[in-house]
């Protein structure tokens, strides 16, 4: 089943010069980029995007983190892409994320370190976690006009 999912390259990924490296991981898996742009999120938009987390203790650190610089937002398309992208991204806590995942390869810190220092977990990426959230998040970040349907060269071999 072909799905679309939202990916954000968070400000730490952008500032560390990892945009290309991270996008390559998704392209290498044969996923198709349906839309992409750079956005500097404000507090109001952060509250919409992270609506399920707004009441949680870590939310203020998370908002500070996600609004500290621009993010690269993209929608990727592929077979079971929501699950596949989460697998490529790895666990939320970089300390536990497996080598080979984006969070495991390019970050390392822990919940404990983040909490002790009053920081968000800087884990490079956001990815939608289920079909309903993907639908909501894609619609929040992209208009229909900004999403494109086209054929990629390797489609016959990867889809």
Positions in the binding site for ligand CDP (CB under 6 A) = 53, 58, 61-62, 92, 111, 114, 120-121, 123, 126, 129
Instruction: In whole angstroms, give the CA distance from residue 32 to residue 45.
Output: 26
Which of the 8 DSSP states describes residue 9?
E
Q: C-beta of 142: minimal distance to ligand CDP in Å? A: 19
Smaller CB distance to ligand CDP: residue 23 or 120?
Answer: 120
Residue owning tokens 């976690």: 129
Q: Which of ligand CDP, Mg ion, none has residue 113 at its interface (CB below 5 to 8 Å by kind)?
A: none
Kindly list the distances between the CA atom of residue 58 and the CA atoms of 2, 9, 40, 108, 115, in Å, as whole numbers in the listed order. 34, 20, 21, 19, 8
Tokens, residue 78: 């592929």
CB-side neighbour CA atoms (13 Å) of 104: 12
Told to judge if 109 belongs to the known catalytic residues of this protein, a careful annotator would answer no
**Catalytic, out of 49, 108, 126, 157:** 126
Shortest CB 67 distance to ligand CDP, Å: 13
Q: Please state the closest distance from residue 45 (CB atom) to Mg ion, in A.
A: 16
Binding region for Mg ion (CB under 5 A): 129
Active site residues: 126
């Amino acid at each position: 089943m072909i799905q679309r999912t939202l990916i954000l390259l968070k400000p730490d990924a952008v500032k560390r010069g990892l945009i290309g490296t991270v996008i390559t991981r998704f392209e290498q898996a044969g996923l198709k980029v349906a839309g992409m742009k750079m956005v500097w999120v404000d507090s109001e938009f952060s509250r919409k995007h992270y609506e399920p987390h707004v009441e949680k203790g870590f939310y203020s650190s998370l908002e500070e983190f996600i609004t500290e610089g621009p993010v690269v937002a993209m929608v990727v398309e592929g077979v079971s892409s929501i699950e596949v992208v989460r697998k490529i991204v790895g666990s939320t806590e970089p300390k536990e994320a497996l080598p080979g995942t984006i969070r495991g390869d390019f970050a390392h810190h822990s919940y404990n370190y983040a909490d002790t220092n009053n920081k968000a977990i800087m884990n490079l990426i956001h990815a939608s976690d289920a079909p309903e959230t993907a639908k909501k998040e894609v619609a929040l970040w992209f208009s229909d006009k900004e999403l494109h349907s086209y054929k990629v060269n390797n489609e016959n071999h990867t889809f």
